[in-house]
Chains A and B, each alone.
Chain A
Amino acid sequence: MISRAGGGERLNGVKLPPFQSLLSDHGADIHRMLRAMVGPNDADDCWQETFLSALRAYPGLTSAENLRGWLMTIAHRKALDAHRARKRRPVPVSDPPERAAAEAPGNEPELWTAVRRLPVKQRTAVTLRFAGDLSYIQIGEIIGCSEAAARQNVRAGLAGVRREWVR
Chain B
Amino acid sequence: MNTAMQAELLRRAREEGLVDVAYTTLDGPLGTLLLASTDKGLVRVAFANESEDEVLQELSDKLSPRVLESPARLETVRRELTEYLEGSRQEFDLPLDWRLVRSDFTRRVLEATERIPYGATSTYRDVADAAGNVRAVRAAGSALGSNPIPVVVPCHRVLRTGGDLGGYGGTLPRKVFLLDLEAGRPHLV
Which A residues lie at the B interface, using CB under 8 A? Answer: 1-10, 15-21, 23, 27-28, 30-31, 44, 47-48, 51-52, 55-56, 58-59
Contacts and interface: CB of A to CB of B under 8 A. Distances in A.
Main secondary structure of the interface of A (DSSP, over half): helix
Interface in B80-114: 98-103
Contact of A20 (B56, B58, B64, B100): B56
A18 B103 contact: no
B102 A2 contact: yes
Nearest to B101: A5
Interface residues of B, number: 33
Nearest to A2: B102
Nearest to A6: B99
Given A3-B102, A5-B101, A51-B9, A58 B65 contact: yes
Nearest to B15: A52
B5 A19 contact: no
Nearest to B63: A8
A16 B68 CA distance: 13
Given A8-B63, A16-B65, A20-B68, A27 B6 contact: yes
A44 B99 CA distance: 37
Given A17-B60, A52-B9, A5 B100 contact: yes
A9 B13 CA distance: 22
Given A18-B67, A48-B9, A52-B9, A7 B58 contact: no
Main secondary structure of the interface of B (DSSP, over half): mixed
A27 B6 CA distance: 9
A18 B59 contact: yes
Contacts of B98: 6
Closest 10 A-B residue pairs measured CB to CB? A18-B67, A16-B65, A31-B1, A18-B56, A18-B60, A28-B1, A27-B1, A55-B18, A8-B63, A8-B62
